[in-house]
């Protein structure tokens, strides 16, 4: 990573510390703990995680760390929303497993142009190898195919599949909040070797994109809590932009 981007990432992390954590993690602390426990102990989720660690390209801001966070938050959302479809205890355990696996696998083909469709195709192969049923594979692959922002949201054949799809989408878009400016953005810039001047010229467009994402959350819980993630991210992004303009002007000129 270029020195200037490393410095700006440190500034973004410092700015982010001045903002509160999203309320989602406080208000769903019990579900967060349950998702974490299951993620750490479920044998099938462990197997899928092992596959992801060995095979995902980890240099684009959407690697293992991103996949784990999306998996855990997809699990939290499933736990929060399962009552809306009358999910019983045994079914909830299965759905939580599917949530974790969908989150782990969703960005396996992130660098491809149609990465959601390509990721769903890879997930189908991986899940079949690990013994998931045809229904489970269909539900996970639907969720992965539907997770791209502003893409077509195809309906599934089951209530569980539709719920899983919406939960994965929302958990993935949570990452467009603070984490976008503390982690993801810098990995993407480093991979593409973007000049600072080019980065800054595209900055307003990127912020406008975030504001549009704010209105796309799909589950009731996502719609209630997701906008705060985005608002915090926008706040960090605006603060960082002003800092760059005021304290890094010479770097922009020299680039």
What is the chain's alpha carbon radius of gyration, rounded to the nearest angstrom?
19
pLDDT 10s digits, 154-166: 998 889 999 999 9
Fold of 22-174: Hypothetical protein af1432 (1.10.3210)
- Domain extent listing, the chain: 22-174, 178-254
Q: How confident is the model at residue 197 (pLDDT cuts 50, 70, 90)?
A: confident
- CB neighbours of 192 closer than 8 A, spacing ≥ 6? none
Neighbours of 93 (CB within 10 A): 12
Q: What pLDDT is recorded for position 157?
A: 85
Q: What pLDDT is recorded for position 141?
A: 97
Neighbours of 84 (CB within 10 A): 12
- Distances in Å between the alpha carbon of 210 and those of 32, 56, 178, 207, 228? 25, 25, 11, 5, 12
Neighbours of 248 (CB within 10 A): 17
Q: The whole model's pTM is what?
A: 0.94
């Amino acid at each position: 990573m270029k020195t200037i981007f490393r410095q700006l990432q440190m500034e973004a992390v410092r700015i982010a510390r001045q903002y509160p954590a999203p309320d989602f993690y406080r208000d769903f602390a019990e579900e967060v703990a349950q998702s974490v426990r299951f993620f750490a102990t479920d044998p099938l989720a462990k197997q899928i995680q092992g596959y992801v660690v060995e095979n995902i390209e980890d240099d684009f801001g959407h690697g293992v760390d991103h996949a784990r966070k999306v998996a855990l938050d997809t699990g939290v959302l499933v736990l929060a929303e399962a009552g809306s479809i009358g999910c019983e205890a045994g079914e909830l355990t299965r759905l939580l497993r599917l949530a974790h696996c969908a989150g782990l696998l969703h960005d396996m083909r992130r660098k491809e142009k149609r990465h959601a469709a390509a990721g769903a195709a890879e997930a189908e192969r991986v899940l079949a190898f690990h013994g998931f049923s045809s229904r489970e594979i269909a539900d996970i692959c639907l969720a992965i195919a539907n997770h791209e922002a502003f893409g077509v949201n195809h309906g599934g054949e089951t209530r569980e599949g539709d719920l899983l799809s919406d939960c994965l989408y929302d958990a993935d878009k949570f990452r467009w909040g603070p984490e976008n400016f503390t982690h993801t953005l810098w990995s993407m810039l480093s991979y593409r070797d973007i000049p600072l001047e080019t980065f800054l010229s595209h900055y307003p467009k990127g912020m406008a994109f975030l504001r549009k994402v704010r209105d796309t959350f799909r589950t009731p819980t996502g719609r209630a809590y997701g906008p705060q993630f985005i608002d915090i991210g926008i706040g960090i992004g605006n603060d960082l932009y002003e800092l760059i303009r005021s304290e890094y002007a010479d770097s922009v000129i020299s680039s």
